């Protein structure tokens, strides 16, 4: 076995980083009734002068099983430790609840050795607690599913051996997950996947204690985690806040904060207004309220992802890329030259500046910046060059006597996605080089049905990365097996398929990334999609916040927070 993550690491030295989820709501995700009653909150009586008040949009769930929006992730990330965690500052995957990981040479078996740790109720964290959590995600009991619906995290475990049989009920347990002893978790995959340790950095795959079996509904309201904070009281439907206190037995027990109060709001703007009024210390910041100086993506300031007494705005990138998908299976976008011209005609810098007030990053490729293997301006046709676009179009669609080109396109996008202004700007850029493009706003379900069926010309799509791996960007979008599923461009290239499959079995990170960069270079040369924007989120902090690090994706590392005396 190779041992890629076996070096013992002091978690006090790690991390400004973890994973952000898509903000898409999970239908049927509600809190249950009742209370586990098992968490000791006696520490509430201790000194609580150092209270951090943090505004969030009211989450639907804080149980890892049902996390479905940023507010829920913000809370759950303080309560739970997954096996692994991505260190955005260093750009590497690091151990978290796991002490080390060993990968078999065939990249199909991974052995996680757990740290000596406890849940908030005092029970030891064991390998079976991870298996229990994963089985709950893949095939929940009736009570859990009725409370929160199916878990959106189930797909993360789809490569684990026995997934299909356990999910459909033909097997009584998840056979690909074994627990030879309390501190050893062995995961067997149905196919090679060297990036699997990155998958289990997802907070939704954190362990759950045996106490959940006594009261699943109570656990949904007051989850018992293994993270640096624990709940002080249950989260009810009418709650005005979610109260957390330090878990003193955690290896990363908070030292600078005695109490965290997540103050609940209906909208981001409401949380921001409460911050402006001085009612809370930290809040998410709407795009239109971000100080442009704080949104400098080119800064070398090491504190860019850290609120301090002198830095009151932090901008963190989402693992999201916005792009135009071209239907390469139908005319006229089966012509690579037309796709090149469209890409070169889009003024990404102006789009970011005028529409998003500099709180987005122009995309020079399809892989977001926080993903290992990202390269600046990796796509040759992502540079704004309207003259080159016009010259190329002159060879494909020469202007007639009236100066018009015989080229008309339709750009289909989601009417409810808040992208109208961006789409109008893109349409204007295309018109400037002689391409007539008509915007078409449709419903979310209609858009994705048409993309899946190939019933479109250009489509506007957001791709949220599930975990920090180039494979998670490139394989879904460009492997031919995903045509009509997530490969909406209907792109097929034998060499790309072979390289993607080769990368999955390569256990050396550097060599796997090199292979995936070759894939990206091939795809960039074909331009089946046109990336134009990377996502971002912003937070603001009061002067009383001496230090509050954030992930590159907007999750606060409150265990590292320091407040002014």
Whether residue 5 is contained in a domain is answered as: no
Q: 416-436 b/e with 16+ CB inside 10 Å = b?
A: ebebeebbebbbebbeebbbe
Look at the alpha carbons of 412, 417, 420, 426 in this order and tell me if their dihedral is positive or negative: negative
Q: What is the secondary structure of 513-561 as a DSSP string?
A: HHHHHHHHHHHHHH-SEEEEEEEEEEEEE-TTEEEEEB-TTS-B-GGG-
Same domain, 502 and 386: yes
Same domain, 259 and 331: no
Going residue by residue through the chain (565 aa), what tens digit of pLDDT does each one get?
544 433 333 322 222 222 222 222 223 333 333 344 433 433 444 445 799 999 999 999 999 999 988 999 999 999 999 999 988 777 789 999 999 999 999 999 999 999 999 999 999 999 999 999 999 999 998 888 888 889 989 999 999 999 999 999 999 999 999 999 999 999 999 999 999 999 999 999 999 999 898 788 899 999 999 999 999 999 988 899 999 999 999 998 988 999 999 999 999 999 999 999 999 999 998 877 876 545 544 444 555 688 998 888 888 778 899 999 999 999 999 999 999 999 999 999 999 988 887 778 899 999 998 899 999 889 999 999 999 999 999 999 999 988 889 999 999 999 987 889 999 999 999 999 999 999 999 999 999 999 999 999 999 999 988 889 999 999 999 999 999 899 999 999 999 999 999 999 998 889 999 999 999 999 999 999 999 999 888 899 999 999 999 987 889 999 999 999 7
pLDDT of residue 65: 94
Q: Would you state the structure tokens that stand for residue 184, as one six-digit string?
A: 């050893």
Same domain, 359 and 380: yes
Whether residue 286 is contained in a domain is answered as: no
Look at the alpha carbons of 274, 280, 284, 289 in this order and tell me if their dihedral is positive or negative: positive
Same domain, 329 and 230: no
Whether residue 87 is contained in a domain is answered as: yes
Same domain, 456 and 555: no
Whether residue 56 is contained in a domain is answered as: yes
For residue 178, give the H/E element and its range.
Answer: strand 177-181
Same domain, 240 and 173: yes
How many domains does the chain divide into?
A: 2
Whether residue 299 is contained in a domain is answered as: no
Whether residue 162 is contained in a domain is answered as: yes
459: CATH: 3.10.105.10
Whether residue 310 is contained in a domain is answered as: no
111: CATH: 3.40.190.10
> Angle 546-548-552 (CA atoms, 0-180°, nearest 5)?
145
Same domain, 45 and 154: yes
Same domain, 237 and 346: no
Q: Is the pTM of this model over 0.95?
A: no
Whether residue 1 is contained in a domain is answered as: no
Please list the residues that pair with 41 across neighbouring strands.
none
The torsion angles phi and psi of 308, rounded to 5 degrees, stand at -140, 180
Same domain, 263 and 322: no
- Which residue, 20, 39, 190, 53, is CA-closest to 561? 53
pLDDT of residue 35: 42
Check: CB of residue 151 under 8 Å from CB of residue 140: yes
Domain span at residue 383? 317-536
Q: Length of the chain in residues, anyone?
A: 565
Same domain, 246 and 337: no
- Which residue, 243, 235, 125, is CA-closest to 185? 125
Same domain, 479 and 409: yes
Same domain, 332 and 439: yes
């Amino acid at each position: 076995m190779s041992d890629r993550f076996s070096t013992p690491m002091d978690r006090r030295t790690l991390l400004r980083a973890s994973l952000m989820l898509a903000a898409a709501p999970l239908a049927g995700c509600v809190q249950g009734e009742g209370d586990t009653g098992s968490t000791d909150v006696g520490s509430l009586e201790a000194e609580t002068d150092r209270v951090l008040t943090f505004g969030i949009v009211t989450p639907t769930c804080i149980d890892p099983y049902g996390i479905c929006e940023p507010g829920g992730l913000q809370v759950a990330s303080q309560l739970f430790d997954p096996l692994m965690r991505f260190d955005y500052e260093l750009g590497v995957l690091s151990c978290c609840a796991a002490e080390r990981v060993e990968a078999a040479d065939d990249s199909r078996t991974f052995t996680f050795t757990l740290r000596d740790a406890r849940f908030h109720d005092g029970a030891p964290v064991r390998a079976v607690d991870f298996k229990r959590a994963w089985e709950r995600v893949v095939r929940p009991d009736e009570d859990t599913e009725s409370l929160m619906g199916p878990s959106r995290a189930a797909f993360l475990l789809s490569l684990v051996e026995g997934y299909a049989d356990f999910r459909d009920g033909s097997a009584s347990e998840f056979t690909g997950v074994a627990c030879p002893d309390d501190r050893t978790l062995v995961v067997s995959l149905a196919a090679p996947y060297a990036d699997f340790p990155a998958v289990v950095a997802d907070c939704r795959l954190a362990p759950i204690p045996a106490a959940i079996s006594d009261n699943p509904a109570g656990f949904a309201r007051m989850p018992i985690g293994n993270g640096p904070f624990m709940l002080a009281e249950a989260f009810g439907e009418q709650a005005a806040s979610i109260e957390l206190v330090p878990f003193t037995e955690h290896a990363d027990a908070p030292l600078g904060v005695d109490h965290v109060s997540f103050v609940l709001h209906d909208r981001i703007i409401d949380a921001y207004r409460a911050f402006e009024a001085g009612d809370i210390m930290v809040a998410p910041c709407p795009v239109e309220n971000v100080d442009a100086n704080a949104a400098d993506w080119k800064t070398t300031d090491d504190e860019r992802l850290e609120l301090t007494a002198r830095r009151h705005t932090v901008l963190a990138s989402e693992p999201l890329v916005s792009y135009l998908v071209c239907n390469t299976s139908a005319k006229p976008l089966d012509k690579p030259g037309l796709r090149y011209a469209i890409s070169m005609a889009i003024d990404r810098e102006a789009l970011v500046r005028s529409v998003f007030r500099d709180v987005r990053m122009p995309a020079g490729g399809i892989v977001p910046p926080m993903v290992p293997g990202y390269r600046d301006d990796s796509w040759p046709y992502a540079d704004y060059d309207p003259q080159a676009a016009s010259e190329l179009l002159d060879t494909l669609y020469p202007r007639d006597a009236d100066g018009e080109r015989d080229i008309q396109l339709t750009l289909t996008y989601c009417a409810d996605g808040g992208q109208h202004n961006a789409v109008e700007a893109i349409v204007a850029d295309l018109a400037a080089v002689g391409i007539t493009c008509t915007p078409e706003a449709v419903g979310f379900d209609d858009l994705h049905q048409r993309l899946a069926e190939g019933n479109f010309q250009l489509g506007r799509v957001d791709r949220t990365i599930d975990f920090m791996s180039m494979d998670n960007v490139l394989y879904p979008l460009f492997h031919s097996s995903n045509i009509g599923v997530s490969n909406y461009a209907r792109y097929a290239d034998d060499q790309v398929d072979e390289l993607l499959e080769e990368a999955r079995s390569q256990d050396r990170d550097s060599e796997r990334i090199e292979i995936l960069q070759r894939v990206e270079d091939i795809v960039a040369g074909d331009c089946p999609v046109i990336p134009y924007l990377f996502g971002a989120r912003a937070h603001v902090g009061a002067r009383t916040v001496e230090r509050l690090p954030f992930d590159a994706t907007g999750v606060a590392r409150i265990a590292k927070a320091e407040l002014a005396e």
